[in-house]
Structure 1
Amino acid sequence: MRLLIIEDETELRTQLRSGLQAQGYAVDAAADGQEGHYLGTEYPFDLAIVDLGLPILPGIEVVRRWRARGIAFPVLILTAQGRWQDKVEGLNAGADDYLVKPFQFEELLARIKALLRRAAGVAQSSLRCGPVVLDLASQRVESEGRPVELTAQEYKLLEYLMLHTGEVVSKTTLTEHLYDQDFDLDSNVIEVFVARLRKKLDPDNRLKPIETLRGRGYRFTLARG
């Protein structure tokens, strides 16, 4: 999953970026509203964290302009303590949730996971597609009742495919949502990870959970249950 942080406090922005990257997210960051608005408009993100007190372009205006353009990824706003008016204004502008500074990183992480689940139409933290079960909270995976050990990047790829089960997802889309701006979009790393996932999830080649559509991308074929 690819996240965008728009926060003008350098230390907090750095801490959030490194903390979320350690959790397996691809993270881009901006220090002002103008740059953040541009990134959110031009690149595909799964969620944005937006401070309201931004220079150049206020966070409220960033969210309002995104929604006016039909950009629908979830937005979590950060507000100053005691400013209930900011919360109301942010939600009315199109934000999906808010967090009051100072906050615990664990709470931020829980809210991010909840928003991502909601955006994908998943109510529970456990995602089941056929005999494959993925726990979004613990990041554990099982296939036909047996645990499956995945690397961080393999897990991220599987999570994205399962959250979009039945959809055709292009190689470019996968790369854009799993990596930040600096990643080489021409790399064959996605093909390698897909091949590994097939072997780990379906060693007997019976389930065939990931379909390759030549020239179009990949599709997770097991129905969500």
Structure 2
Amino acid sequence: MQKRILIIDDEPAIREMVAFALRKGDFEPAHAGDALEAQSAIAERVPDLILLDWMLPGTSGLELARRWRREDPTREVPIIMLTARGEENDRVGGLEAGVDDYVVKPFSARELLARIRAVMRRTRGEDEDGNVSVGELRIDGAAHRVFARGEPLAIGPTEYRLLHFFMTHPERVYSRAQLLDHVWGGSVYVEERTVDVHIRRLRRTLEPSGLDGMVQTVRGAGYRFSAAA
């Protein structure tokens, strides 16, 4: 599953240049020129990573980073700041606002892709090929396949996305609404109980391998994925 990266920059030429590099790197780019467009893009689908320009019209990138670190849908989304401001005080200010890394303009496509992959490995538990492992479960990102105790599983596309999200965010409780935002996208109208249906399907998929207990119900709160099944 291609990672979606939201590019937020008020210069169309820079957005296009970055989007071209992302597509070459097998990422799916999304665009925004200001804070309003960024919020609309996030509502449509929460990205896997945000590339955020420091200087934006109306609201600065720093203010957006602080806001998104307080909001549930974006709290754990990695943010890389794109900036011409490379001084230590600026970098420290950005890190304190919740930014995960900096790329100082001008930058090369090669450096940008390397920083993106490094941040994703740190924050999502993935290796360079997009593979994820938790206990006896493994996702082969390139092949879009799931293996349980070394055996391949037949899994539906929604269950795959749900499992991928769980495996890259283990040991944390997510409500149905949060799972809808992250897995289905905020602009898609889906009943919250739909989450329960896909959780049951995912458990049935994992049951023959004895790993269905990794998907745990937390009464009154939501669901958690844990290696300690």
TM-score range, shorter chain: 0.5 to 0.7
Answer whether contact 1:5 1:48 (CA < 8 A) is retained.
Answer: yes
Superposed, which structure 2 residues align to 1:1-225 within 5 Å? 4-10=6-12, 13=15, 16=19, 23=27, 30-33=32-35, 36=38, 47-63=49-65, 65-66=66-67, 73-79=77-83, 83=84, 85=86, 89-90=90-91, 92-94=93-95, 95-99=99-103, 100=105, 103-104=108-109, 108=112, 111-120=115-124, 122=125, 124=127, 126-135=131-140, 139-186=144-191, 188-202=193-207, 204=208, 206-208=210-212, 209-223=214-228
Gap runs ≥5 in structure 2: none
Distance 1:101 1:189 in 2: 45
Distance 1:58 1:178 in 2: 28
Shift in Å, 1:217 = 2.1
Which secondary structure state, in structure 2, belongs to the residue aligned with residue 85 of structure 1?
Answer: coil
Distance 1:163 1:44 in 2: 15
Match for 2:53: what amino acid? D
Gap runs ≥5 in structure 1: none
Distance 2:210 2:137 in 1: 13
Match for 1:7: what amino acid? D
Which secondary structure state, in structure 2, belongs to the residue aligned with residue 55 of structure 1?
Answer: coil
Distance 1:90 1:199 in 2: 47
Shift in Å, 1:58 = 3.3
- Alignment CA distance shift 1:98-1:155 (3 Å): farther
Match for 1:78: what amino acid? L
Shift in Å, 1:175 = 1.0
- Alignment CA distance shift 1:160-1:90 (3 Å): same
Match for 1:96: what amino acid? D
**Higher helix proportion, which one?**
2
Distance 2:56 2:197 in 1: 41
Aligned residues: 212
Answer whether contact 2:46 2:186 (CA < 8 A) is retained.
Answer: no
- Alignment CA distance shift 1:205-1:152 (3 Å): closer
TM-score for the superposition, normalised by structure 1: 0.66
- Alignment CA distance shift 1:33-1:169 (3 Å): closer
RMSD: 4.3
Answer whether contact 1:2 1:179 (CA < 8 A) is retained.
Answer: no
- Alignment CA distance shift 1:93-1:214 (3 Å): closer
Distance 1:130 1:156 in 2: 18
Which secondary structure state, in structure 2, belongs to the residue aligned with residue 142 of structure 1?
Answer: strand
